[in-house]
Chains A and B, each alone.
Chain A
Amino acid sequence: MLSMDRHAYSNGLTDANPLKKGAFAGTLLGIALVFDISTLHLLIALGTSIIVIIMGKVDFRVYLKLFMIPGSFLILSILTLLVSISTDQKNFLISGEIFGFYFGVVKTSLSLSWLIFTRCLATLSIAYFTALTIPVNQMVVIMKKLRLPSVLIELIVLMYRFINIFIKSFYESYNALILKNGFADLRKSRKSISLLAAMMFNKILGGYKDWRVVLETKNFNGDFHV
């Protein structure tokens, strides 16, 4: 999450026009969702990946690693789609029998799974293109252009800031617990995790109070002016 953010602010395409980047991603997303053509999906995935890696100068291994996380979920769910159960062997391309039930792959589910798989790849690579090349401040420009309600934009901007503060203080507490051998064994780990949760809760509550004071000194009147 943090490393993606870092890339967004310092990649080869950071300074490109945000509206063009947004329109590019939006158009590709539309194409990927409308057309049921796997080759097209693969082309989109390949194209955006090449743009991110070559023009965006994002390290190939970093990019691959980012893909692995949702990728593994994707493969698992495709597998469950792929396999069907029946008492009859005839429709299966390949199958096995357990207790009189046939487990296997049907032709229609094969093509459907393949379509879903390639579509996921395409949309995923578009999502990464967006996350890795459009920093949040440019995202705000795009959201404004799309005439999204300003309350929504404010919410996103603030959430983004607080997620970053949250992650920072989470890691501070987490590292402190590691240094105190809080994760030495399973029992200690369980205790440390609950401790960590309590700490974060207190920090958020305390933070909330401090933020309210600061907002008051800055004459906050309900509008974040984004």
Chain B
Amino acid sequence: MALLEIKNLYVSYGSIRALHGISFKVEEGEVVTLIGANGAGKTTTLKTISGLLRPDKGQIVYDGVDITRMGADAIVRRGLIHVPEGRRIFAPLTVRENLEMGAFTRKDKHEIEESMERVFTLFPRLKERVEQPGGTLSGGEQQMLAVGRALMAKPRLLLMDEPSMGLAPILVEEIFEIIREINEQGVTILLVEQNAHMAFSVAHRGYVMETGVIQLEGPASELAENPQVREAYLGGG
């Protein structure tokens, strides 16, 4: 059974429909990427999974449980964690407090402290800035904080919305290296990306979305070779 299964999902903003019946699966242990042009509905899909938006129709099954109508906080408690588009760091809170918020649903202080140490080994730069307000970090550091904050929740499935957005190429490499590392530690990842090239390099499988529907799917290596995909998302080459 898949860890996450989306069945025929329809989502609207007011009277404007953004998703027109999409279905896909994420198996435990995989990195699955969801690519598509601006406005295709990728962010909408992730927000609906994590409970920020309510679908008109369709079903979301996570770990065998229907979470379609569940509150966002209950979903987090099940280990389904969403790293939102644009990082959404709590600017007035310190780096430490941001990380603590990531662990909001956890109780054991000792384990939380351990997770924090693990985040600091992954991102030593955050450790140097623990008492600094999150809003004073650079864009790249904020992205590290956003990922670190999500890891504080002990995720089983991580939804990542454009983690490479606005980062210098060297940092993009670094972030993808970390995504791979997180996955190797047993976390399943659903990765939304504009940078299809990098996304295919870490993902096992992928889905291509266009204006609210899924156009193509397949193993990442196959999608990367697909002429249509190359034309639209990999710069023609």
Partners in one complex: no
